[in-house]
Structure 1
Amino acid sequence: MSLTAITLFFLLLLTGAPVAIALGLGSALALWWFDMPLAVMAQRIVNSLDSTTLLAVPMFIFAAALFNVTGLTTQLFDFIRMVIGRIRGGLGYVTVLTHLVFSGVSGAALADIGALGRIQIDMMREQGYKDNFSAGICMAAATLGPIFPPSIPLVIFAMAAEVSPVKVLIAGIFPALIIALFLMGMVWWVGRRAGLPRDDISVTRGEFTSRLWFAMPALMAPVVLIGGILLGWFGETEAAAVTVVYALAAGLFFYRALTWRGFVEALRETVRSTAGVMLIVGAAALFAWVLTIDQVPTKAADLLLGLSKDPWVLLVIVNLLLLVIGMILETIAAILILTPIIVPALVAAGVDPVHLGVVVVLNLMIGLLTPPVGMSLYMVSTVSGMPVERVIRAALPWIGCLLLSLAAVTFLPAASTWLPNLMLK
């Protein structure tokens, strides 16, 4: 039955069907073909969505949408630009740091590109940066969103792997900083070779103080969120609720820019994004259950352990597998399908599941920059007006940079496990 479901899934993908439809319809047809009761479909989908952990997803999406409509992203970009923009290639560093800070409220790569991409690319065009550099750094920096907490993909992984969501979220802090350092190193290298421009921004002490004041809510948002998690004041779901309250308070009382119209638009964006995520979650859970009936996860674990019991060898194999899967499968669907398959084998070999979660998500984030399903490519093409073919060429050097950071995160497990083990003994 699982072979039938997998075959139907890929056939539907080849016809251009959305991933959720291909997963759900492929599973349904396989169940029907083997005379399984179709009522089980509704049961499995509802059970997969009946999760307290998943409540964090719409709230993180809502918080990011509120920050967008109140103009917080612009304030954040302007302040960081003012601080470091005047060094060579300054807007490249500004892009990386802005995504790092904004990822503390968004939790998703495409949300970061949608909120910041047009601002960054237009500014770099004005100052003489080549479009290939602007598009490439924008896509690469957006991978920080799903690694640095709050991360929607890490929350989904924790649910699928049945590990602590709080530990997995905290595990993303140092790997995100490692990725940011690699990206800024790439900016420095390109700046030295290509002579990137310097920002022409000039500010007085009064302007600096004013912009710092207006950027403070954005700068403090990750501190409030991560600090609360580290101190044990709230878990992942409560953290999402706190982020929403924080965004509402900043928009209403600090910026005084949150209008009723903006609030409704944020709600609409949240509903649209959440509906898409939950449809994929439900369909992928059904597909994973079909695979479980035929004991595919157990057989896959035996196969992997038969290849090697060395955790480093297995991590390399899983990295290669995920890099390929990331090219053809949507992130959340890939996490829900592959996590039950790879986690048992690697945990049995001695790999920490928290470390594995960061490795899995980073692999799939690199997949956002690779065709044919790389969603970051199409998002940047939309916000920049560049043809997709040109955006793909622009992504290639940055994919190499991200692969180096993936190697560092993979072979330095302490970067992922030290902080959660310290804080959550």
Structure 2
Amino acid sequence: MQVQSIALAGGRTSRAGNVLETTVRWITEWPAALLVVVEVGLLLANVTYRYVLHDPLTWGDELASMLFIWLAMLGSVIALQRGQHMRLTTMLEKLTPALRRPAEAFGDALVVVFMLLLIHPAWEYVSEEWAITTPALEIPNGVRVAALAVGFTLMLAIALARLVMRARLRDVVVSAVAIGALAGLLLAFKPMLTGAGHANLFLFFVVGVSGMVVIGVPIMTAFGLSTMGFLAFSTDLPSMVVVGRIDEGMSGLILLSVPLFVFLGALIEATGMAAAMIRVLASLIGHVRGGLSYVLIGAMYLVSGISGSKAADMAAVAPALFPDMKQRGEDEGELVAMLSASGAMSETIPPSLVLITIGSVTGISIAALFTGGFMPAVVGAIAMAIVVWLKNRNRAAAAEGARASRREVARAFVYALPAMALPFLIRAAVVEGIATATEVATLGVVYTFVVGLAVYRQFDWKRLWPMLIDTASLSGAILIIIGCATSMAWALTQSGFSRDLAAAMASLPGGALGFMLVSVVAFVVLGSLLEGIPAIVLFGPLLFPIARAAGIHEVHYAMVAVFAMGLGLFAPPFGVGFYAACAIGKVSPMAAMSRVWPYLGALFIALLVIAAVPWISIGAL
């Protein structure tokens, strides 16, 4: 009888959790999708009024910024519900089911604790900001920052629902006891921690962050919870400071380009423009030994030039090429290895979201970063092409397809020309001052819609709604990490760590060369463990000033950093980009892991060349 009552209670709890998740989904997905559309229209109006009508909308950027923070927070809620927040699952996947369940429950419980700690200071922050009015619209700023409080509240609801639905009662109780015991231990030692100096940083930001990341806790929680723990147990600063720093990190207007480029990337694939560009490459070189391998490299270069998401890039290229490559005898592990490495190779190609993030946190010109990003990727593509040539030099020519006729090549080129014009349109709009880096994606969206509907005619309108939701989800997952990493970087700066780090890096032997080599290794490791965006938000404000002081051009250093982080992102066993490529190619990671190293080795040599030759990055500036 007791067992039956427990089972019934568990069933009711699970149903309640499902109802809560469904309710939150309905109140977040519709507004988030609508906000994506509104932001595109608003920024397009900004460009039109300023460049065409010469009558700028003085309130345009202010309204866009206000709506953007709501889009980001609603997207974060959707990402949490879908399990799409960035996290490292490598270690979890190696655990037995008996160990994995309590580890996942503990991770879910940490998310609940993080949201609980944020809610009260977030609503306090709203109350304080309500007295401030915006300059153009004269709206209380509390309307804007209320997005944070509402978002954290909804994320708490989702985190609780997931915890009660997925975890056993015993695991929940054990997690609660463990978290409570840890908090009590830290509280008992607070007097000692307050005077421990940089030892606190090691405890909270090395042990704490790495421990949470290893057990699969979302990176945003690892950053934010460690920061709140540092402030609570080693300083007297209020927790509302964390909310303010998260707001600051997510409110940069340049970051509004993130959801717009994510949406643009999805449109490229959905309208058939990506397939058209791949087709012209295949007609040109598909017949040579390993020809489709070269096509894959070139296709990733082209698609990355107009998409902001590496997952979207790979998802656009793989279905178009993998079937034919398998028919020609390519091993599926080799295909995924090439796909993964080409993702690393193309990280610097604008409009890379990492480049946009660097510009946001360091103040470097986005136009300069966009201009400098093309040639480093060319060097990487050449390095990969050499590996492909070495692997296929003894391959029989009969294994390849028939050579396309000149008429077929010309037809494919003409068909792809409207799609191939898009990267040049984006770059020209930024460089010529027609649109800012934030606004330019809207031109790309409009161009893609018009060309896709008028020329390629492959767009299925039923895909539009899921694309809008996916855009909000991915953007929210990215932006909340930037916010939490900003709060963590602020805490590191306030502790004096940045000053000490600058002194240590400046004293490295070898001057600028020594600093650059250390940076290469550091960013490869950071890209593997944290991914590019959180890593650059966390360490960019610390390292870029040191690079400037050492006489390294900021665009050159940015290209080295992005290329290195891309290499780490797609390097097993930790790089999540590698596993994303495996998932897209539907191949076991073990089948591709041994085959990816020659490509990554070639890209590492290319990285050293890029680091040693500044002209590659800044020659076109």
* Correspondence for 2:531 among 314, 322, 330: 330
Secondary structure of 2:350's counterpart equals coil
The residue correspondences of 1:144-183 to structure 2 (distance < 5 A) are 144-183=345-384
1:186 aligned to 2:387? yes
User: Which residue matches 1:399?
Assistant: 600
* Correspondence for 1:214 among 389, 412, 415: 415
Deviates more, 1:335-344 or 1:406-415: 335-344
User: Which residue matches 1:86?
Assistant: 287
Alignment deviations for residues 186-245 of structure 1 (CA, whole Å, 9 cap, x no partner): 211211155586531454555444433332222111121123333343331122221112
1:293 and 1:2 mapped to 2: Cα distance? 11
1:202 and 1:107 mapped to 2: Cα distance? 33
Equivalent pair of 1:103/1:144 in contact (CA under 8 Å): no
* Correspondence for 2:213 among 8, 13, 18: 13
1:111 and 1:416 mapped to 2: Cα distance? 25
Amino acid at match of 2:564: N
Question: Is there any run of 5+ residues in structure 2 with no aligned partner, and where?
Answer: 1-199
1:28 aligned to 2:228? yes
Equivalent pair of 1:114/1:379 in contact (CA under 8 Å): no
Deviates more, 1:398-407 or 1:318-327: 318-327
User: Which residue matches 1:3?
Assistant: 202
Equivalent pair of 1:73/1:115 in contact (CA under 8 Å): yes
Secondary structure of 2:237's counterpart equals coil
Deviates more, 1:194-203 or 1:261-270: 194-203
* Correspondence for 2:242 among 41, 46, 52: 41
Q: CA deviation at 1:8?
A: 1.6
User: Which residue matches 2:544?
Assistant: 343
The residue correspondences of 1:345-360 to structure 2 (distance < 5 A) are 345-360=546-561
* Correspondence for 1:136 among 337, 340, 346: 337
2:452 and 2:440 mapped to 1: Cα distance? 18
User: Which residue matches 2:616?
Assistant: 415
Instruction: Give the aligned length.
Output: 420
1:35 and 1:196 mapped to 2: Cα distance? 71
Q: CA deviation at 1:133?
A: 2.5
Over the aligned positions, Cα root-mean-square deviation in angstroms equals 1.9
Gap change, CA 1:194 and 1:322, over 3 Å in 2:
farther
User: Which residue matches 1:270?
Assistant: 471
Q: CA deviation at 1:409?
A: 0.7
User: Which residue matches 1:423?
Assistant: none
Higher-RCO chain (CA-CA 8 Å, sequence separation at least 6): 1
Equivalent pair of 1:369/1:392 in contact (CA under 8 Å): no
Secondary structure of 1:129's counterpart equals coil
Percentage of matched positions with identical amino acids: 26
Q: CA deviation at 1:46?
A: 0.9
Equivalent pair of 2:344/2:570 in contact (CA under 8 Å): no
Equivalent pair of 2:276/2:412 in contact (CA under 8 Å): yes
Alignment deviations for residues 111-159 of structure 1 (CA, whole Å, 9 cap, x no partner): 2112212332332111111223312211111224421111110111121
Gap change, CA 1:118 and 1:196, over 3 Å in 2:
farther
Alignment deviations for residues 267-317 of structure 1 (CA, whole Å, 9 cap, x no partner): 122112101111111111111111111121211110011223611111011
User: Which residue matches 2:481?
Assistant: 280
Equivalent pair of 1:377/1:391 in contact (CA under 8 Å): no
1:46 and 1:283 mapped to 2: Cα distance? 9
2:489 and 2:247 mapped to 1: Cα distance? 14
1:223 and 1:162 mapped to 2: Cα distance? 24
Alignment deviations for residues 230-269 of structure 1 (CA, whole Å, 9 cap, x no partner): 3343331122221112112122222233333122222122
2:284 and 2:383 mapped to 1: Cα distance? 20
Amino acid at match of 2:202: L
The residue correspondences of 1:176-255 to structure 2 (distance < 5 A) are 176-193=377-394, 198-201=399-402, 203=404, 207-255=408-456
Gap change, CA 1:257 and 1:119, over 3 Å in 2:
closer
Deviates more, 1:138-147 or 1:83-92: 138-147
Amino acid at match of 2:276: Q
Equivalent pair of 2:286/2:292 in contact (CA under 8 Å): yes
1:258 and 1:363 mapped to 2: Cα distance? 36
Equivalent pair of 2:220/2:481 in contact (CA under 8 Å): yes
User: Which residue matches 2:54?
Assistant: none
2:604 and 2:394 mapped to 1: Cα distance? 21
1:309 and 1:296 mapped to 2: Cα distance? 23
Whichever of the two has the greater Rg, that structure is: 2
TM-score (ref. length: structure 1): 0.93
1:76 aligned to 2:277? yes
1:131 and 1:211 mapped to 2: Cα distance? 27
1:15 and 1:205 mapped to 2: Cα distance? 56
